[in-house]
Amino acid sequence: MSELIYKSAAQLSESLAKKEVSAREVTQAHLDQITKVDQAVHAFLFVDTEGALAQADQVDAARAKGENLGPLAGVPLALKDILAQEGIPTTCGSKILEGWRPPYSATVVKKLRAAGVVILGKTNMDEFAMGSSTENSAFGTTQNPWDLTRIPGGSGGGSAAALAAFEAPLAIGSDTGGSIRQPAAVTGTVGVKPTYGGVSRYGVIAYSSSLDQVGPCARTVLDTALLHEVIAGHDDYDATSINAPTPPVVAAAKRADVKGMKIGVIKELSGDGYESGVSERFEESLEILRSQGATIEMVSCPNFDYGLAAYYLIAPSEASSNLARFDAMRYGLRVGDDGSRSAEEVMSMTRAAGFGREVKRRIVLGTYALSAGYYDAYYGSAQKVRTLITQDFAKAFSSVDVLVSPTTPTVAFPIGAKSNDPVAMYLSDVATIPVNLAGVAAMSLPAGLSEGLPVGFQIIAPAMKDDRLYQVGAALERELAAKWGGVLTTKAPKLSSSAGA
């Protein structure tokens, strides 16, 4: 059964539909792999063995009765622990929520369940999605399956590592400044940040509400598209959800044709600070797209240089407000409630005990940026940069169909290398952040290896043109996979139960 874990979701879907394999067998194979390798990888915070098998049995029973099932019915998935799932521990990587079992499910979780997707468990992440390495998780760091001494990216390092370690063929992430795309890049997997408002945020623990977006992760472009189609769509429970049809992402992934397309290379997202191996893989991918009939041109987005600075004002500002809800009153941790202290003192003590360093850092930074006397200089200026970046995108998209860049300036760095230097850590997101500020759509997919570690290729499309990501991504992937003899993760080390730890 172990070969089941190396199959794509699309292949599993076909085998399940033909009843060559049962959902229970597929689910059990992945649960076995988790048992085997997760001690070394630590992708999961919670594994719902019984629940997953029960979901699989429901799918098998429905299939036996001849019910009309969706393409992903019976395919297992790893869920980032930022999404509320009824009755299942949901921590967001924080001590302040340890032991909390939500009384409701996120809309995305409901959609997954309705589609028959089997949820294996909750994946590790930087606390409240603040980080680029999972080192800020209150529950330990996830290891990169390509090299267990290196970071798997963040904040969604658990979801990306679960894919690269063949613990699940599908995963859900959330992307505020790159938390889907940067982990995808450094683990050799595919991740998409949909257009802002394309996927419901209801039941997703808020970090920076005007930037947060939930998205699909997988090992192939087509699998990512299949998952995108399941989770996207308008939701009455999210006032910022777009009320329009989801772009035809699966059809685009199947079309996989760039002939006649105009592709813009973002001048500001290259050069200094980008490792030579990253730049080389990027150039090779451009050459492939050119040979497939696309026109490549350089495009300048001058205000992207201010993106990182604007992000590290806007995101902490919104976070300082969003995280005010962790006040020790209605759910989560409460410290110091011994009858002698006021609600305010209990609140302050609980937040001191429940939040980790990076979360405290961003709450203080955001509160400062929003406080009287500093608001215009910091938050106000950052909002103006946001306008300028949005205008840069609009101008660029008036002459090209998609924009491209390396996803990250470097390959996965060693665990601990940047954990004491917040500014250096923040630079990991320099190429992914402009996308969130403008609310446009973007994908990272593997471009190859540099010194044995994966390099990510980023594609950016205008709002609600998410299908273009898949059209270009699938075309590039087809050529690269032909060269490699399979998608990049087929080259990932096969972890054994004795690996690392």
Partner 1 sequence: MSRISNEEVARIAHLARLELSANEIAELAGEMEAILGAVARVQEAAKSDVVPTSHPLALVNVTRPDVVRPSLTPESALSGAPASEEDRFRVPQILGEEA
Q: Is 80 part of the annotated catalytic residue set?
A: yes
Name which of residues 436 to 475 contact partner 1 (CB under 8 A).
437-439, 463
Name which of residues 123 to 162 contact partner 1 (CB under 8 A).
none
Residue 388 binds partner 1 (CB under 8 A): yes
Of positions 18, 68, 103, 451, contacts partner 1 by CB under 8 A:
103
Q: Which two tokens stand for residue 144?
A: 């990169």
Q: In angstroms, give the least distance from the CB of 59 to partner 1.
A: 26
Residue 320 binds partner 1 (CB under 8 A): yes
Q: In angstroms, give the least distance from the CB of 247 to partner 1.
A: 16
Other residues' Cβ atoms within 10 Å of the Cβ of residue 114 = 11
Residue 309 binds partner 1 (CB under 8 A): yes
Q: Single out the residue of 315, 81, 95, 115 nearest to residue 203, CA to CA.
A: 81
Residue 394 binds partner 1 (CB under 8 A): no
Residue 347 binds partner 1 (CB under 8 A): yes
Q: Select from 56-64, 71-79, 180-188, 376-384 the region that touches partner 1 (CB under 8 A).
A: 376-384
Q: Select from 148-156, 168-176, 181-189, 364-372 the region that touches partner 1 (CB under 8 A).
A: 364-372
Of positions 13, 303, 432, 471, contacts partner 1 by CB under 8 A:
303
Q: Which two tokens stand for residue 323?
A: 């995280």
Q: Single out the residue of 473, 402, 410, 413 nearest to residue 435, CA to CA.
A: 402
- Our CB check for partner 1 shows the closer of 376 and 451 to be 376
Taking the alpha carbons of 93, 99, 101, 102 in that order, is the dihedral positive or negative?
negative
Q: Select from 119-127, 151-159, 310-318, 406-414 the region that touches partner 1 (CB under 8 A).
A: 310-318
Residue 482 binds partner 1 (CB under 8 A): no
Q: Is 179 part of the annotated catalytic residue set?
A: yes
Exactly one of 133, 155, 174, 200 is catalytic; name it: 155
Residue 236 binds partner 1 (CB under 8 A): yes
Listing DSSP states for 115-183 in one string gives TT-EEEEEE--SGGG--SSSTT-TT-PPPBTTBTTB---SSTHHHHHHHHTTS-SEEEEEESSSTTHHH
Residue 11 binds partner 1 (CB under 8 A): no
Q: Single out the residue of 216, 284, 250, 272 nearest to residue 77, CA to CA.
A: 216
Phi/psi for 171 (5° steps) reads -150, 160
Instruction: Find out whether 148 and 40 touch, Cβ atoms under 8 Å.
Output: yes
Buried b (16+ CB within 10 A) or exposed e, 74-94: bbbbbbbbbbbbeebbbbbbb
What is the three-state SS of 6-46?
HCCHHHHHHHHHCCCCCHHHHHHHHHHHHHHHHHHHCCEEE
- Our CB check for partner 1 shows the closer of 298 and 423 to be 423
What is the three-state SS of 49-107?
HHHHHHHHHHHHHHHHCCCCCCCCCCCEEEEECCECCCCCCCCCCCHHHCCCCCCCCCH
Which residue type sits at 463? A
Q: Single out the residue of 240, 190, 193, 242 nearest to residue 440, CA to CA.
A: 193
- Across the chain, which distance is largest between two alpha carbons, in Å? 73
Q: Is 384 part of the annotated catalytic residue set?
A: no
Which residue type sits at 322? N
- Contact map string, positions 253 to 292, toward partner 1, x by CB under 8 A: ----------------------------------------
* Length of the chain (residues): 501
Q: Select from 40-48, 234-242, 408-416, 479-487 the region that touches partner 1 (CB under 8 A).
A: 234-242
Residue 100 binds partner 1 (CB under 8 A): yes
Q: In angstroms, give the least distance from the CB of 340 to partner 1.
A: 6
Residue 345 binds partner 1 (CB under 8 A): yes
Exactly one of 179, 208, 270, 405 is catalytic; name it: 179
Q: Select from 11-19, 274-282, 381-389, 448-456 the region that touches partner 1 (CB under 8 A).
A: 381-389
Residue 306 binds partner 1 (CB under 8 A): yes
Residue 383 binds partner 1 (CB under 8 A): yes
Binding-site size for partner 1 (CB under 8 A) equals 71
Exactly one of 7, 8, 36, 80 is catalytic; name it: 80
Residue 352 binds partner 1 (CB under 8 A): yes
Residue 397 binds partner 1 (CB under 8 A): no
Residue 342 binds partner 1 (CB under 8 A): yes
Separation between Cα atoms, residue 150 and residue 411, nearest integer Å = 10
Residue 234 binds partner 1 (CB under 8 A): no
Residue 497 binds partner 1 (CB under 8 A): no
Residue 375 binds partner 1 (CB under 8 A): no
CB hemisphere CA count around 365 (13 angstroms)? 18
Q: Select from 134-142, 171-179, 215-223, 307-315 the region that touches partner 1 (CB under 8 A).
A: 307-315
Instruction: Find out whether 456 and 213 touch, Cβ atoms under 8 Å.
Output: no
Separation between Cα atoms, residue 243 and residue 247, nearest integer Å = 12
Name which of residues 411 to 430 contact partner 1 (CB under 8 A).
422-423, 426
Catalytic residues: 80, 155, 179
